[in-house]
Amino acid sequence: MYALGIVAQSVASRRADDTTSGLGLLARLLRDRLYLLGFGGQVAGFALAFLARAELPLYLVQAGSSCAVGLATAFGVLALGWRVRSVEVAVLVVMAAGLVLLVAAATPSTAHDVPTGPGLLLFGLPVLALVLVQRWVAGVVPLAALAGLAFAVVAITSRTIADGPLPALVFHPLAWLTLFAALVGQSYLVLALRRGPATPTAATMDATTVVITSVVGIAALGDRITPGREWWVAVGVALVVSGVLLLGSADRVARTPARAAA
């Protein structure tokens, strides 16, 4: 679902009006059926990830989500005629190996509770800063990285509240912060997809999210690891992040000669 969402949003963002940006561009795209298809896929992926965060550590959930960049590549090959090369197949194998290590090392647990006041301050200030500086961020890589930061906030805050009853989330301030951070991350992602290819953009975003959430989850939220398998997590995260970045880099290199030849 997430992979389908990235591809659809990439196509819709590139054909959008160039005179708008940020949250304004996001509001305009919400009237585009193709974008809504992609957005719906991403929302469905977020819902599944939210449910998984109730018991599974962030390093596993986010690494699994980041592997969707590989599925996006596969979808692009099948539906949009993208060409896949042996190096990309090898990278997908590396990512799968990393994910297997993380699955084997993960231990189900619930996250530590974060007090509402400190949580709003600690996680809300970075999101507010992202809103304020967005107009001055121009490059594809910075936009994608900051989208990853916003989605890291989404993952961290939702991990702390995912184990509670779903109806009570309507009244939880951190749930509203999660929603706001998701919209901010989405606005950064839209800008990045409009200015750069989908695969490297998603790769930069996902790598940022995986690294931040893995560190915070283990250090502060009580994410557990099977005793004796700590190095499995380190190697697994490294393989997934490296694979995501290599896949994005391979896509960027492949497109450059094509543009030059044109």
**Residue type for 2, please?**
Y
pLDDT at 82: 62
Which of residues 23 and 142 earns the better pLDDT score?
142
Q: How is residue 243 annotated by DSSP? A: H
Pick from 174, 161, 165: nearest CA to 119 = 174
pLDDT band at 262 (very low <50, low <70, confident <90, very high): very low
Size of the chain, expressed as the number of residues it contains = 262
**Integer CA distances (angstroms), 166 to 43, 175, 241, in order:** 16, 10, 31
Residue 195 has pLDDT above 50, yes or no: yes
* Alpha helices (runs of H) in 111-197, residue ranges in sequence order: 116-133, 140-161, 173-195
Closest to 29 in 3D by CA, of 7, 44, 11, 43: 11
The pLDDT of 135-142, averaged and rounded, is: 87
Q: At what angle do helices 58-66 and 33-53 cross, to 10 degrees?
A: 150
| C-alpha distances in Å from residue 186, one per residue of 21, 183, 190 | 12, 5, 6
Q: Return the top range by mean pLDDT from 26-35, 107-116, 123-132, 187-196.
A: 123-132
What does the pLDDT look like over 76-97, one tens digit per residue? Answer: 666 666 666 677 778 778 888 9
pLDDT at 239 over 80: yes
